[in-house]
């Protein structure tokens, strides 16, 4: 049983580590960003609302995000733990999550803070490519696909996320430093945050995470 949060700036490798973690721990991966992108793809009302903010690199309003996240946490597959990726992102969201968990007699085991420099974040974000079909993630320099533009896993077309251009990425990093970084202090007070080096290879970072989570 693991109840954990992956905290960390845009492009730090949250999705990359989440893939490894859900396989090892058998817990569901809850990424609010992925939920929004799925809704945008399907043209839902939620997707339309979220898109306005995401395309500018701004945060989707707290109440909307909190409702989506807690609805997802109520599902049966979260009874034996979960991995939250990209939620909470403001102190308000963190308080709402704590209240929600306390209401169920649960609490977080660990908050994992992935640390990566701003310069490296920009390189990771602008070089990221994702498969339109299966969502697999690549990087033009760090993890290029065998055939440029084509997914190694399913043969689908690789695209760039709408918010992965330089201008939006810069704003996402600014928004992170302003709105989300205060969460480090918030969780420091509860004593369950660990800082993990995200500048090394994904496998080495994963080893460090496993040392912490057991």
Measured from each CB, the residue nearest to Mg ion is 15
**Which residue number, 15 or 88, has a Cβ lying nearer to Mg ion?**
15
| 13 contributes a contact to Mg ion by CB under 5 A | no
- From the list 89, 96, 110, 124, the catalytic residue is 89
Nearest approach in angstroms of CB 139 to ligand AP5 is 3
| 57 sits near Mg ion (criterion: CB under 5 A) | no
> Where do contacts with ligand AP5 occur on this chain (CB under 6 A)?
8, 10-16, 31-33, 36, 53-54, 57-60, 65, 86-89, 93, 124-125, 127-128, 137, 139, 142-143, 163, 172, 201-202, 205
**Is residue 10 near Mg ion by the rule CB under 5 A?**
no
> 107 is written with which tokens?
């609490």
- Tell me whether residue 19 is exposed, middle or buried, using C-beta atoms within 10 angstroms of its C-beta: 0 to 12, 13 to 18, 19 or more: middle
What's the CA gap between 162 and 127, in Å, rounded? 13
Cβ atoms of 118 and 173 within 8 Å: the answer is yes
Phi, psi of 50 (to 5 degrees): -65, -35
Output DSSP code: residue 67: H
Q: Is 128 a catalytic residue?
A: yes
Q: Quick check: is 104 catalytic?
A: no
Q: Is 14 a catalytic residue?
A: yes
Please tell me whether residue 33 adopts helix, strand or coil conformation. Answer: helix
């Amino acid at each position: 049983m693991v109840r954990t949060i992956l905290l960390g700036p845009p492009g730090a490798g949250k999705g990359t580590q989440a893939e490894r973690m859900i396989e090892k721990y058998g817990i569901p991966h809850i990424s609010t960003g992925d939920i929004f992108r799925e809704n945008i793809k399907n043209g839902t009302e939620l997707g339309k609302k979220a898109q306005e903010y995401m395309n500018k690199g701004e945060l989707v309003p707290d109440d909307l995000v909190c409702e989506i996240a807690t609805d997802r946490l109520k599902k049966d597959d979260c009874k034996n733990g979960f991995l939250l990726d990209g939620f909470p992102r403001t102190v308000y969201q963190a308080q709402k999550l704590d209240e929600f968990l306390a209401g169920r007699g649960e609490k977080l085991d660990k908050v994992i803070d992935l640390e990566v420099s701003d310069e490296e974040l920009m390189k990771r974000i602008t070089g990221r490519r994702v498969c339109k079909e299966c969502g697999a993630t690549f990087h033009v320099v760090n993890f290029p696909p065998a055939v440029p533009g084509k997914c190694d896993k399913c043969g689908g077309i690789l695209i760039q996320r709408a918010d992965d251009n330089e201008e939006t990425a810069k704003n996402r990093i600014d928004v992170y430093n302003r709105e989300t970084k205060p969460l480090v202090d918030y969780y420091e007070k509860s004593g369950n945050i660990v800082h993990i080096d995200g500048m090394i290879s994904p496998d080495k970072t994963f080893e460090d995470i496993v040392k912490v989570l057991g």
